Amino acid sequence: MIRQLRPDVAVMDPHMPGLSGIESTRHIKTASPDTAVLVLSMFDDDDSVFAAIQAVARGEAVFGAAIADRVLGLFTNQPTAHVEPFPQLTHRERQILELLAQGQPNAAIAGSVGTTPKTVRNHVSNIFTKLQVLDRTQAVIRVRDAGYGRDT
């Protein structure tokens, strides 16, 4: 379809079933080098998505706030401002994620944050959905890649 339609922009999800979004992007760029590819992994509203698509069609790069801040810091050799990790998570979800990344089981997390293990399970499920991970191991890898979750 890419060869036939030659779209200006293709929107990809990196976690597509079957062929990954990354591999699909390679195929798209081979078949239609002028097609810009917008990769979305998590978004909040239609307006943001359409604004990002239009920006990519104009040849602009679109990043989330945390990545944009880091990229800007790299190019300007300026220290970057502190950006809260995983802005899609609530404060409580970030708190639970930090404890999860330290290897604490749900019961211990519940005791630490003053809630029940069932509530922690619900938060952990929401965290997995928002981070687009399948299990605790993948979530911990994401947290540690961001520089968090280690005992000090």
- Mean pLDDT of the region 103-127: 94
> What is the pLDDT, as a whole number, of residue 146?
75
112 pLDDT higher than 90: yes
Would you give the distance in Å from CA 132 to the centre of its chain? 7
Instruction: Give CA 81 to chain center in angstroms.
Output: 19
**Local structure of 107: helix, strand or coil:** helix
CA 121 to chain centre: 21
pLDDT in tens, 10-47: 887 766 667 766 678 888 888 888 888 877 665 555 66
Mean predicted confidence (pLDDT) in 145-149 = 70
Helix (H) or strand (E) holding 27: helix 21-31
| Distance between CA atoms of residues 22 and 15, nearest Å | 9
pTM: 0.48
Among residues 143, 28, 1, 138, the alpha carbon closest in space to that of 86 is found at 143
